[in-house]
Chain A
Amino acid sequence: EPEVTQTPSHQVTQMGQEVILRCVPISNHLYFYWYRQILGQKVEFLVSFYNNEISEKSEIFDDQFSVERPDGSNFTLKIRSTKLEDSAMYFCASNRGGEQYFGPGTRLTVT
């Protein structure tokens, strides 16, 4: 069964550093998403992406965040200058109109 993959599984970074989280969505999917989940809290929507552009973003997705689909397979989330409060699980998801398929997540720890 096709699945969404994410790398790395765990990323530790220092405050102020840039991080790039990578995702490989399911190959024939058209819509891509990033969500995050702070430990013990809800899963929160960050951004959706379709046809090479952002279709919707939340208040969380401020100027320090950006997304890119650099080639036909990868979908990345960049955080330019990480803060302590960015520590969370980041989930990538994709679909082509049906249910969203989530990846296993990247645990980001900002120290």
Chain B
Amino acid sequence: LAKTTQPISMDSYEGQEVNITCSHNNIATNDYITWYQQFPSQGPRFIIQGYKTKVTNEVASLFIPADRKSSTLSLPRVSLSDTAVYYCLVGEGFTGGGNKLTFGTGTQLKVEL
């Protein structure tokens, strides 16, 4: 299982773009990179998943360089409600069901006015 490393915490202000980088040096060829968000006292929520290059959805973008040893989650124009813990997970993607998720300690993002 590929180990992931991400900053413990980040601070930002409303309206700024936030980039959270995750290192996964021993990512396997068939591994995907998935990001989840967790608000206090709630279950994690899927944000985005990618394999290579760039993926964008209505919430975030995910940038993955060619060597895939790191990835960056980009949150455009954050608001106070984006204050949460963000988890980078590396493992089998959505190719099949039943795959457990292995969470690290995540990055606590705090957004202020």
Q: A residues engaging B (CB < 8 A)? A: 4, 30-31, 33, 35, 42-45, 48, 50, 55-56, 58, 89, 91, 93, 95-105, 107
Contact = CB atoms under 8 A, between A and B. Distances in A.
A91 B101 CA distance: 12
Closest 4 A-B residue pairs measured CB to CB? A102-B43, A99-B46, A97-B97, A43-B103
Grouping DSSP codes into helix (H, G, I), strand (E, B) and loop, the B interface class, with mixed when no group exceeds half, is loop
29 contacts: A30-B97, A31-B98, A33-B101, A35-B101, A42-B103, A42-B105, A43-B38, A43-B87, A43-B103, A44-B103, A45-B100, A45-B102, A50-B97, A50-B98, A55-B98, A56-B98, A56-B100, A58-B100, A91-B43, A93-B101, A97-B95, A99-B46, A99-B94, A100-B46, A100-B101, A103-B43, A105-B41, A105-B42, A107-B41
Nearest to B49: A99
B96 A97 contact: yes
Contacts of A45: 100-102
Contact of B44 (A30, A98, A102): A102
B1 to A, nearest CB: 11
Interface of B: 34, 38, 41-46, 49, 87, 94-98, 100-106
A48 B102 CA distance: 13
Grouping DSSP codes into helix (H, G, I), strand (E, B) and loop, the A interface class, with mixed when no group exceeds half, is strand
Given A99-B46, A104-B42, A105-B43, A48 B96 contact: no
A75 to B, nearest CB: 14
Contacts of A95: 97
Contacts of B49: 99
A104 B106 CA distance: 19
A1 to B, nearest CB: 12
